[in-house]
Amino acid sequence: MTNSSGNDINLRSVVRGAAFAPSLVLLTALIVIWAATGAGYFWPMWAALGLAIPAGLWLAVRWAMLRPKGASRRYALQASISLVLVVTDVLVWAMSGGGYFWPIFPFVGLAGALALHGLFLRPAQRSLQLRVDELTRSRSGALDVQASELRRIERDLHDGAQARLVALSMQLGRAEERLADHPDSAALVRQAREEATAAIRELRDLARGIAPPVLADRGLVAAVESLASRSTANVEVVGQLDHRLPPVVETAAYFVVAESLTNVAKHAPGASAVVTVHLDGAMLVVEVADNGPGGANPAGGGLTGLKQRVEALDGRLEVHSVAREGTVVWAVLPCE
Amino acid sequence: MRVVVVEDQALLREGMVALLSENGIEVVAQAEDGPGLLRIVEGHKPDLAICDVRLPPTFTDEGIRAALEARRRHPEVAILVLSAYVEPVYTAELLAAGQGGVGYLLKERVSEVRTFVDSVKRVAAGGTALDREVVSALIADRDRSGERAELGALTPRERETLELIAQGRTNAAIAREMVVTLGAVEKHVSNIFAKLDLPAGDDDHRRVLAVLAYLRATGGR
């Protein structure tokens, strides 16, 4: 519900509150007059009906306003007002002594109009649903493509540029050996070789930042174990997956663990952590819990980035950080 | 010494074969994929197989799997794995495959020709060669956690010495590397074993195995 409609309702309730008290006073006065004039035919009920109709309409509108803006709210508005009219007709019929049940006609008319409106509404809603499905599919398709493209780039870096640099440094090494009796030239070649080695190292760091090879090779649990063995914190890994997950899910889960363990090392030195990885039906659940000082800011840069990454896959990420009790980063990712 | 080389990229394979022959190491066969490694080890019974991690057909960890299988079938053949990246999980698997006769080096180490040739000879003779990045990932990172208090007790020089020991260097090589006397290295070494509560053997081989056992217990899983 939007803010403006919330304000509308508040305004209406004030107006209604102000109108309600005089109505009640008026009704009481009429009943007193009716009693004083001999309490014959109970005519004040018609005044009560007159006062009830605006209240009924107000309730109907308020209920309809709870719907999201658009076609479904219009439909709800028509339905609720129709209901008030039908109830009014039935009351009028009953209060005027019953007899031939004429309210059936307005009832049929209003119901027919409502049904027609529904027929128009449903295709609109159906096409909206189809569009949502299509967008969901194309988004996850785009993310899958992106994940496998990144892995391809990572492999190309290793097998292409890096391999050439390794071959180059190997040749420089051989040249250096042959220049043993020309120390000046040998020193120059050694410098060139060291430059090549530095370039190789930079490429390796770059490739690892995209996707670590062990993730592509062995899957999530092995990659998490590798992270744990590299971490400065004492990390225990609990988890087993009996099949490989879609690359995009593996990569997102990997970076959740990587970022969380980096945070443990940075903000909770000396703490130990437990990483849990398991499948719950078609959902992958990843949890990183530490016993550090807590107080993590879930709106911090790293955690916000992770949240976006997880939510892009229709997953959920939560951070619970209690002072002196530690921090838990919990993520759940659908894997279809 | 008879060696086989398994590498799918011709440029690297040829460079390595040339480099090894120049240094008096005979390359008896070459292959370019995992099944090829098993075939030439079976056919040539070399002293050492040098292989890449990423090999066809899968281009994942084919090389490690093939090397482990070769080790299982022919425990007498030493294995030296060259990789474009350091991966503690793979190192641990190689170390678990047997006592000695294994190595894991980054590919660019080949360009430090003399050190590389030393490593090749050492592994072929049943020793161990671990890349310094692997070793420092396992040692240096661990001790900051406070969990392994005994490693924290090492002085920086002792830690440096331990890293070199774990790479498979001899005391003489360590002394050269650190530019100290042999006596100083021997003192570091005995301090390390005392602080780590490791039984110090007389020969290098037992000493390396003790350190590797320690690394395996703490870092490799």
Written in H, E and C, the secondary structure of chain B is: CEEEEECCCHHHHHHHHHHHHHCCCEEEEEECCHHHHHHHHHHHCCCEEEEECCCCCCCCCHHHHHHHHHHHHCCCCEEEEEECCCCHHHHHHHHHCCCCCEEEEEHHHHHCHHHHHHHHHHHHCCCEEECHHHHHHHHHHHHCCCCCHHHHCCCHHHHHHHHHHHCCCCHHHHHHHHCCCHHHHHHHHHHHHHHHCCCCCCCHHHHHHHHHHHHHHHHHC
Q: What percentage of chain B reaches a pLDDT higher than 90? A: 43
Question: pLDDT at residue B144 above 70?
Answer: no
User: Is residue B78 over pLDDT 90?
Assistant: yes
Q: Does residue B91 or residue A177 have the better pLDDT?
A: A177
d(CA B40, CA B31): 7
Identify the CA nearest to B218 among candidates B155, B134, B160, B148: B148
Q: What is the mean pLDDT of residues B84-105?
A: 82
Could you tell me which chain A residue has the CA closest to the CA of B61?
A217
Residues ≥6 apart with Cβ < 8 Å to A52? none
- Distances in Å between the alpha carbon of B167 and those of A17, A65, B50? 85, 74, 17
Under 8 Å CB pairs connecting chains A and B tally to 111
Of B22, B60, B220, the CB nearest to A174: B22
- Average pLDDT score over residue span A2-21: 56
Give B-chain residues touching A270 at CB under 8 angstroms.
Answer: 145-146
What is the reported pLDDT for B221?
Answer: 34
Distance in angstroms (rounded) separating the CA atoms of residues A254 and A267:
20
- Do B54 and A176 count as a contact with CB atoms less than 8 A apart? no
Q: Which residue has the higher pLDDT, A119 or B135?
A: A119
CA distance B166 to B174: 11
Average pLDDT value for residue range B160-182? 84
For A319, the token pair is: 């951070």
Query: Which pLDDT belongs to residue B211?
Result: 62
Give every CB contact of residue A231 below 8 A, 6+ residues apart in sequence.
A261, A264, A265, A273, B141, B145
Identify all chain B residues contacting A158, using CB atoms and an 8 Å cutoff.
54, 84-85
Percent over 70 (pLDDT), chain A: 94
Q: Which pLDDT score is estimated for A1?
A: 38
Q: Which of A176-180, A182-186, B204-208 has the lowest mean pLDDT?
A: B204-208
Which two tokens mark A64? 């309809």
Rounded to whole angstroms, how far apart are CA atoms B120 and B90?
Answer: 19
Whole-structure pTM value: 0.66
Q: Which residues of A touch B87 (CB under 8 A)?
A: 213-214, 226
Q: Span A70-97, mean pLDDT?
A: 88
| From A45-54, A124-133, B130-139, B205-214, the region with the lowest mean pLDDT | B205-214
Torsion of CA A303, A306, A307, A313, to 10 degrees: -170
- Calculate the average pLDDT of chain A: 86
| Cα three-residue angle A298-A207-A170, rounded to 5 degrees | 150
- The string of pLDDT tens digits covering residues B35-60 is 999 999 999 999 999 999 989 888 88
Give the per-residue pLDDT at B149.
45
